[in-house]
Amino acid sequence: MNPTTTTPANKASKATQFLADSDAKAFDLEHRRKIRFNIGKYNAAVSTGLGFYHDHELARERASYLKSTVINRLDEYLLEFERNFTARGGKVIWAQNADEALREIGKIMARRHARTVVKAKSMTTEEIHLNHFLEQNGIESVETDLGEFIVQLNGERPYHIVTPAMHLSRLDIARIFEKHLGIEYTDDAQKLVLTARHLLRNKYTTAEVGITGGNFLIADTGAVCVTENEGNARLSATFPRTHIAIVGIEKVIPKLEDLDLFWPLLSTSGTGQQVTVYNTIYTGPRQPLEKDGPDEMIVVLLDNGRTNLLAQPAQREALNCIRCGACLNICPVYKNIGGHTYETTYSGPIGSVISPHLSGMAENKHLSYASSLCGACTSVCPVKIPIHNLLLQNRQQAVREQLTEKDERTAIRLWLLAMKNRRLLDLLPARAKNWVLLRLLSQVGWNKRRDALEVAPQSFRKMWKARSR
């Protein structure tokens, strides 16, 4: 797939908007309070959860090895999955990009005369903007995950890979329910949950189509695995007559037994649980002797730029990601600027790595600079992705492909020329050097909240020369 291209003006405006939004969020004290409180609870739970492992590092090593093995032989494992899944009556659709996926989903909706769709939490559906597509075609799309339901009511995209409404407090959610559902204001969490449950129950039983994502695809079984805490995915996949699972091609693992490793790693790194509450393995539509389940099950295998990343040997390890969200929770940048600032489906450190490959390097290269390179993300990744190193690889690729702005390239050439020629650098007096520094650093916002940099009146070379006389 070829990512969407943009004009230089659009590239510049997206990066500029990112800096402006980051600046606003970083100094929004109420936002920081909510995020630090919510992430703090998750980090405390994860710390406790890791204590249940006898050798967590060994588990990470094994998971990294298995995922890397699969990614390097991805075509073989995907074909094995398709062969085993279709043998039980399932159908597989290969979608090269979002347009192909939406077109095929639209055909299914038309064939089923669908008017209502119930959706479990799925980042791939966010990636292809499925809700917008369905609404344009007169189909009601209802998010059934509580967090997704809340942000859908509020007209927002998910804030976090695992916790879509992490940026909202209980009082915020109460106001959203009061405004959009017309209920009496209450900040009682139990009442709010019961309100959502009551509204969603009827949707499950009347929807023609249910849509889920997939945490893992099992090659040797031909199965889609979904992990959740609320049971909404099970309801979305069981009541409607058609179940569509939209899954990225990188989610495949070799064997059913491998879930023994990956499910606990995913839940512990994401929420601190030993294992999530509901873990379901779907092997196709309802079989002749089975009492429940859909009449048909369709898996949409989504590329949408993943093969662009696969073609980069130095960066393809990012496809090992199991979407636990641990790198977001530990990242000092994410905790200050928040998830919406990235303006991408996948935010935080791993989003900054993969988004330029999924959506276009030219348009999203600035995300790879949204990092302190402290390495905290790498240290918590359950499949040992060297995220901070991959961010550097992205930066190198952007320079290699000449995607940097002309002013930046000119500045680097002048700096390189000066650094290689000390006599040339000494030609400029300190006053001129300070003027250049002021101009350059002002353009990148350095001086907005910092004192201006000033060079010494005399260079070290000149002082050494004077001392040697």
| DSSP character string of 192-218 | HHHHHHHHHHHHHHH-SEEEE--SEEE
* Residues 298 and 431 both lie in one domain: no
What is the C-alpha to C-alpha distance for residues 123 and 213, in angstroms, rounded to an integer? 7
Question: Alpha-carbon torsion 166, 169, 170, 175, what sign?
Answer: negative
In a domain, 332, yes or no: no
What is the C-alpha to C-alpha distance for residues 335 and 13, in angstroms, rounded to an integer? 24
What is the C-alpha to C-alpha distance for residues 332 and 374, in angstroms, rounded to an integer? 9
In a domain, 216, yes or no: yes
* Residues 159 and 296 both lie in one domain: yes
Structure tokens at 53: 């492992």
∠ at Cα 25 (20, 29), nearest 5°? 145
Q: Give the per-residue pLDDT at 4.
A: 42
Question: With contact defined as beta carbons under 8 Å apart, do 171 and 179 qualify?
Answer: no
What is the signed CA dihedral for 391, 396, 398, 400, rounded to 10 degrees? -160
In a domain, 460, yes or no: yes
User: What is the DSSP secondary structure assignment for residue 376, as one 8-state letter?
Assistant: H
**What's the burial of 425, exposed, middle or buried (CB within 10 Å: 0-12/13-18/19+)?**
middle
Structure tokens at 145: 């995950």
In a domain, 163, yes or no: yes
Residue the block writes with tokens 């030609």: 427
**DSSP secondary structure of 65-112:** HHHHHHHHTHHHHHHHHHHHHHTTT-EEEEESSHHHHHHHHHHHHHHT
Residue the block writes with tokens 């730029």: 305
User: What is the DSSP secondary structure assignment for residue 234, as one 8-state letter?
Assistant: H
Q: Give the per-residue pLDDT at 7.
A: 43
Contacts of 217 (CB under 8 A, 6+ apart): 78, 81, 223, 224, 225, 247, 251, 252, 253, 299
| 242-248/91-95 β-pairing | unpaired
In a domain, 221, yes or no: yes
What is the C-alpha to C-alpha distance for residues 361 and 381, in angstroms, rounded to an integer? 24
Question: With contact defined as beta carbons under 8 Å apart, do 315 and 258 qualify?
Answer: no
Final residue in a domain of this structure, among 269, 304, 339: 304
Q: Which has the closest alpha carbon to 250: 222, 221, 217? A: 217
- Residue 281 pairs in a beta bridge with 225
Q: Give the per-residue pLDDT at 410.
A: 82
Give the count of domains, the chain.
2
* Residues 88 and 226 both lie in one domain: yes
Q: Give the per-residue pLDDT at 14.
A: 87
- Chunked mean pLDDT (size 10), the chain, 469 residues: 43 82 93 93 93 96 98 97 98 98 98 97 97 97 97 96 94 95 92 93 95 98 96 95 98 97 97 96 94 95 97 95 96 95 96 95 94 96 98 95 84 83 80 82 74 83 81
In a 3-state reduction of DSSP, which class is residue 404?
coil
Which range marks the domain in which residue 427 is found?
Answer: 419-468
What is the C-alpha to C-alpha distance for residues 166 and 329, in angstroms, rounded to an integer? 11
* Residues 233 and 104 both lie in one domain: yes
What is the C-alpha to C-alpha distance for residues 4 and 443, in angstroms, rounded to an integer? 28
In a domain, 283, yes or no: yes
List the CATH number of the domain containing 93. Answer: 3.40.50.10420
Contacts of 85 (CB under 8 A, 6+ apart): 92, 222, 223, 224, 283, 284, 299
Final residue in a domain of this structure, among 304, 329, 363: 304
Final residue in a domain of this structure, among 284, 304, 324: 304
In a domain, 342, yes or no: no
Question: Alpha-carbon torsion 9, 10, 15, 20, what sign?
Answer: positive
In a domain, 334, yes or no: no
Q: Give the per-residue pLDDT at 8.
A: 42
Q: Give the per-residue pLDDT at 10.
A: 53
- Residue 93 pairs in a beta bridge with 300
How many other CB atoms are there within 10 angstroms of residue 368's CB atom? 22
